[in-house]
Structure 1
Amino acid sequence: MALMTSTLGRVNRRIVTLLAALIPILALGVVGSVVTVPFVALGPGPTFNTLGEVDGKQVVDVQGVPVKSTSGNLNMTTVSVRDRLNIFEAIGLWIDGQHGLVPRAEVYPPGQSRDDVDKSNQQQFKDSEDSAELAALNYLKLPTAVVLANVADDGPAKDVLRKGDELVTVDGKPIATTKDVVAAVSAAKPGTAVPVVLRRDGVEQTAEITLGARPDDSSKGYLGITPDEVNKGPLKVDFNLGDIGGPSAGLMFTLALIDKVTTGDLSNNKFVAGTGTIDPDGKVGPIGGIQYKMIAARDAGAVTFMVPAANCNEAAQRTPDGLRLVKVENLAGAVQSLEDLKAGKDVPSCG
């Protein structure tokens, strides 16, 4: 009887010890799977061939001019964002080598909801489409026009110009871009009466406006207008990618548009991917998440990656095996590099 009691005692002590060891583990498991961390994970996102189709529509749909049959890939790249991670998810993504953790506030700033951030990203994407269209038009020397997006209520032009007016000349200087407006107005001194030729409702007319002084430089003339450069035809383009945000598709959209209107063979039937913002003058700007975009491109099969010059140092340090980096400062340089690659020539590189 004493032996049985002793054996039961030892078994009970083992059970208690086992439970004492399991309770912290179980608690850690519950905490790790329930509690979220104040970080988001950035990683490779989807990549889309701007020469191809999505959901039965051309990603870059060109109308109004002859369009060439294209070959190969000119892929835009994206970064994925994973939010509301628990501890185990965050650790797992950090360990996998393809993701990075950043403070959540860097992606979703305090005071802004996710919807606010998503709407801002979508507007940036729309702006990148507009800039891509204008950059391509300017490169191809196709017609653009400058219309007024706004006329300041307290500016010198308030009683003369209206929103929607097209500017033809300012002080005798032809207007084709927003920079033309700035140059023409800034060249005249405040107090100068300058002639402005405008087109309103299809009718051309002339007005005279006495310039004010620019708020940031009182030595230069000022009209108090917000000019906007627009496509004047005949080329029309629609970009058909939804649920994408940010401005970094600009360069690849522009290259696709140029390819479709010119040779149809910019990629030389190879898999080219890239990233970069673009402005109407063709300047290519830096983006975030370059390392994840390169991974996405290489995983998709890219052999060449177009890199904004300002991102080159970072890209060179994290280049996936088998991916050739091409340094890009502007649109003309990007097109020339693709032509040179096709011809077997050296091109600017990142490192």
Structure 2
Amino acid sequence: MPRRTATMLASLLTLIALLCAGVLIPVPYSEMSPGPTVNTLGDHGGEPVLQISGHETYQNSGHLNMTTVRVTGSQYRMNLIEALYGWLDNDYLVVPHSTLYPDDKSPDELNQETAEEFSQSQESAKVAALRHLHFPVGSRVVVSTVVKASPAEGRLHAGDVIKAVDGTEVKQPGDVAKLVTKHRPGQQVSFRVIPAKEAAAAEKEKRQPTTESTVTLTTAAAPGDKRAIVGIQAGTAHTFPFSINIKLADVGGPSAGLMFALGIVDKLTKGGLTGGKFVAGTGTIDDDGKVGPIGGVEMKTLGARAKGARYFLTPKDNCAAAAKDTPSGLTLVKVDSLDDALAALGKIRTGDSAGLPRCTAR
């Protein structure tokens, strides 16, 4: 066989071997891509995303779209060729698998975590929106979670309202841990609580709870530092002057908080916020209206523009990443709070786009 032919054959076989290796050998990466975007002012799955009863609402035009990111599953193992394609295509983002799926958490734990974050984002969106509109919002300390095989399992339940610990009134979630850790492991601690079902019924019927109970638990030692614990996480629940439900299935995480809050304000505001414009965005939100950063912002801007958005409300700390490759025709608006977002919408509504605080790549 001529040397040239042999060299070409060897090169071809090497190329085939490399291609096979690229297809067969998994690499420790996952892929992110633009996910669905949903108008918080509209319907999804045949029903309104925001459902408000007990107060007058308004049908306003325009879009306030929340955005999502689609990711490969926890069990999916990307091959080298897929990773290379993702790195070269701006419509995809390739990240280490451990970024999306940490080794110390199971898929079920991650699903539970994102579901809880989504629920909390809805709660904070309601609080921030109603406080902005000067509606009264009540708060109470509750049992958020109960640890399995702990002293509290079966005795305290998620949603129970904690009124006092050892007779001392509880005003903030942190008070609970402080009072429990005054004990030594093996000592008893008493909780005065309103059961979750009674608290929910009283709120629904607009009355004061009538049932309280005292639960006495024997503390256990915390793993590692031997502090006294009972196995609960305390949190804050709120009471609202009227009913607000957010209906959006198959979504997790906290990043829709800002857009939910804006949607609620819009629904309760005559004349609307957008002036009929198509606005999308993202960002976490806390009870005070502070907007926080999220992951996958580059994919969210792509998804928003593909849907038709002209403006994208971008958390301040995500601005630099988003501005590195802004989709054509999309204006990135920098926001750090609910008030910032509402001020920006005012400029968008009146056509003052030159006055918008824009994201830059630095």
TM range (shorter): 0.7 to 0.9
Query: What displacement does 1:347 show?
Result: 2.6
Query: What displacement does 1:150 show?
Result: 4.1
Does the 8 A contact of 2:65 with 2:259 survive in 1? yes
SS in 2 for 1:282: coil
Query: What displacement does 1:16 show?
Result: 8.1
Q: 1:228 to 1:28 in 2, by over 3 A?
A: same
Q: Once the two structures are superposed, what CA deviation does each residue of 1:187-238 show, in whole Å capped at 9, x if it has no partner?
A: xxxxxxxxxxx9987269xxxxxxxxxxxxxxxxxxxx9462413322x122
Do structure 1's residue 292 and structure 2's residue 299 form an aligned pair?
Answer: yes
Q: 1:32 to 1:325 in 2, by over 3 A?
A: same
Q: 1:19 to 1:113 in 2, by over 3 A?
A: farther
SS in 2 for 1:256: helix
Query: What displacement does 1:77 show?
Result: 1.0
Do structure 1's residue 312 and structure 2's residue 319 form an aligned pair?
Answer: yes
Does the 8 A contact of 1:146 with 1:166 survive in 2? no
Amino acid of the structure 2 residue aligned with 1:233: P
Matching residue of 2:251: 244
Do structure 1's residue 340 and structure 2's residue 330 form an aligned pair?
Answer: no
Query: What displacement does 1:242 show?
Result: 1.4
Matching residue of 1:231: 239
Does the 8 A contact of 2:67 with 2:256 survive in 1? yes
Q: Could you tell me which of 48, 53, 56 is aligned with 2:46?
A: 56
Does the 8 A contact of 2:277 with 2:348 survive in 1? no
Within 5 Å, give how 1:246-261 maps onto structure 2. Answer: 246-261=253-268
Q: 1:166 to 1:323 in 2, by over 3 A?
A: farther
Within 5 Å, give how 1:196-211 maps onto structure 2. Answer: 202=208
Query: What displacement does 1:241 show?
Result: 1.4
Matching residue of 2:334: 327
Does the 8 A contact of 1:325 with 1:349 survive in 2? yes
Q: 1:263 to 1:326 in 2, by over 3 A?
A: farther
Within 5 Å, give how 1:69-88 maps onto structure 2. Answer: 69-82=59-72, 83-88=76-81
Whole-Å separation in 2 of the counterparts to 1:54 and 1:203:
35
Report how many residues are paired: 296
Unaligned runs of 5+ in 2: 145-158, 165-169, 176-193, 203-207, 211-232
Q: Once the two structures are superposed, what CA deviation does each residue of 1:137-167 show, in whole Å capped at 9, x if it has no partner?
A: 211222222222149xxxxxxxxxx942679
Matching residue of 2:97: 104
Matching residue of 2:116: 123
More off after superposition, 243-252 vs 117-126: 117-126
Does the 8 A contact of 1:274 with 1:305 survive in 2? yes
**TM-score w.r.t. structure 1 length?**
0.73
More off after superposition, 75-84 vs 17-26: 17-26
Do structure 1's residue 47 and structure 2's residue 44 form an aligned pair?
Answer: no
Unaligned runs of 5+ in 1: 1-8, 152-161, 168-174, 184-197, 205-224
Q: 1:90 to 1:203 in 2, by over 3 A?
A: closer
Query: What displacement does 1:316 show?
Result: 2.7
Whole-Å separation in 2 of the counterparts to 1:203 and 1:59:
30
Does the 8 A contact of 1:144 with 1:229 survive in 2? no
Whole-Å separation in 2 of the counterparts to 1:51 and 1:128:
17
Query: What displacement does 1:28 show?
Result: 3.0
More off after superposition, 46-55 vs 275-284: 46-55
Does the 8 A contact of 2:277 with 2:349 survive in 1? no
Do structure 1's residue 113 and structure 2's residue 103 form an aligned pair?
Answer: no
Q: Could you tell me which of 251, 269, 290 is aligned with 1:262?
A: 269
Matching residue of 2:148: none
More off after superposition, 290-299 vs 25-34: 25-34
Does the 8 A contact of 1:134 with 1:231 survive in 2? no
More off after superposition, 55-64 vs 251-260: 55-64
Amino acid of the structure 1 residue aligned with 2:357: P
Whole-Å separation in 1 of the counterparts to 2:327 and 2:4:
53
Whole-Å separation in 2 of the counterparts to 1:316 and 1:31:
36
Amino acid of the structure 2 residue aligned with 1:75: N
Matching residue of 2:185: none
SS in 2 for 1:340: helix
More off after superposition, 225-234 vs 241-250: 225-234
Whole-Å separation in 2 of the counterparts to 1:58 and 1:249:
16
SS in 2 for 1:118: helix
Q: 1:313 to 1:227 in 2, by over 3 A?
A: same
Matching residue of 1:146: 139
Percent identity, aligned pairs only, is 40
Q: 1:310 to 1:21 in 2, by over 3 A?
A: closer
What value does the CA root-mean-square deviation take over the aligned residues?
3.6
